Amino acid sequence: MERPPPLPQPRSGRPFAVAACFAFALVPLPPHEEGPGPLIAAGLLTLIIVMSSLLIPWRRLPSSAVALPPLAYFVVIALLRDAEGGAVSGYGLLVLLPVFWLALYGTRTQLSVALVMMVVMFALPIILFGEPRYPSSEWRRALMWAGLGPLIGFTVQRLVNEREQLVERLKLVARTDALTGIANRRAWDEELPRELERARRSGEPLAVAILDLDHFKSWKDSLGHQAGDQLLKEAAAAWRDLIRAPDFIARYGGEEFAVLLPRCPAGATRAIVERLRSSTPSDQTTSAGAACWDGSESPDELVGRADSALYEAKRAGRDRSVVADDAAAIVLDRRVP
């Protein structure tokens, strides 16, 4: 069963804080005989929620902490209802604010807790205070929200999950070559700068190799397009299984494949490239060019040196590797171990 992607985390608590302030600003002053106690308490708690939502970096918090301000807002809603006259207050609809927020950004468990707190918020005053502020007819409202709340909350959360799954699939499709199933040129152009920056910070070596199936167009023309596609699939699968865990392989274009080799010194680069070439399927041959990063060149410059080494291998007769360095090109054929 496919696991759903994690729900999106809010960039900040600002939207929730603005909504909480707006809702509180709509509350009229209560009658004098009831006293300002519930309203003052609601105001103080709203201030705490707003300040925590604005000042705390939500992205760094665990998901359980992110749910605290919306859950605490149920207490604010209960105090606002009491300040406005109890059951006759129209502020019961504010329960949708934390429910929607946790449906969008919370887990299923957090949303379930919010729905339970919502029902308790409507039912508890009937038990504790009763008539006339909270008449027994309020049980119908509590039961109504007990039915509507889960329907609204879980429906929104399911839609959010489906959207996130679709976004993840689209990201995967956008970075995957449709024919071979490995990364495509777009993914390569994104991955190479990241690895160069990582190598720049760590000081570790990094190499790039370009592999090209020899005489692929002639081979495809003689055996047909389906055979050519099959060769590309088999080559991609064979090479993907041979590279190391941190390595990255992509279809660079046509019959060319690019391999990114992090933490790979020159000697290991040569061995890896030769191992890949020797595993070319269907008794076909491959030419390869490789270059080790000099610590300062750009992604285009590094790939350019590897590409130049590849063409040197082709000019030398194909079915061989050329590893470029700053001084010269080292030409290898299949007889080199």
Q: Give catalytic residue positions.
A: 255
CA–CA dist 239, 234 (Å, integer): 9
SS3 213: strand
Tokens of 21: 């302030």
CA–CA dist 70, 73 (Å, integer): 5
Tokens of 123: 């039912």
Tokens of 153: 């909350």
Query: Is 174 in contact with 233 (CB distance < 8 Å)?
Result: no
Q: Omega into 205 within 30° of 0, i.e. cis?
A: no
Please report, to the nearest 10 degrees, the dihedral formed by the alpha carbons of residues 213, 214, 216, 221 taken in order.
-160
> CB neighbours of 266 closer than 8 A, spacing ≥ 6?
205, 207, 292, 323, 325
Q: Distance from CA of residue 298 to its chain's centroid?
A: 27
Q: Using CB atoms within 10 A of its CB, is residue 55 exposed (0-12), middle (13-18) or buried (19+)?
A: exposed
238: amino acid identity, one letter: A
Helices (H), 26-137: 37-55, 63-66, 68-83, 96-105, 108-128
Q: How many C-beta atoms lie closer than 10 Å to residue 136's C-beta?
A: 9
> CB neighbours of 281 closer than 8 A, spacing ≥ 6?
231, 234, 235, 238
DSSP 3: P
